[in-house]
Amino acid sequence: MKPLFLILTLIIMTNCNNDDIDSQTGYNLESQIQIYYKKTNGDNLLDDNTVNHLNFNDFKLFYEVNGNVTEVNDPNADYRKNMEIVTSGTPAPTLYLFTNNDLSNIVSDAGKEKIVENVAYIQLSETDTDTIRTHSKTSKGYFLVSKVWYNDKLAWEREYEGIIEIIK
Over the stretch 101-160, which tens digit does the pLDDT of each residue have? 899 998 989 888 999 999 999 999 999 999 999 999 998 888 999 999 999 999 999 877
Does residue 12 come out as left (phi exceeding 0), alpha (psi in the -120 to 50 range) or beta?
Answer: alpha
Q: Is 153 helix (H, G, I), strand (E, B) or coil?
A: strand
Over the stretch 35-72, which tens digit does the pLDDT of each residue have? 999 999 999 999 999 999 999 999 999 999 999 999 99
Which stretches within the chain are classed as H helix?
Answer: 2-14, 19-22
**31 beta partners:** none
**Model pTM above 0.85:** no
Q: Is 30 exposed, middle or buried (0-12, 13-18, 19+ CB in 10 A)?
A: middle
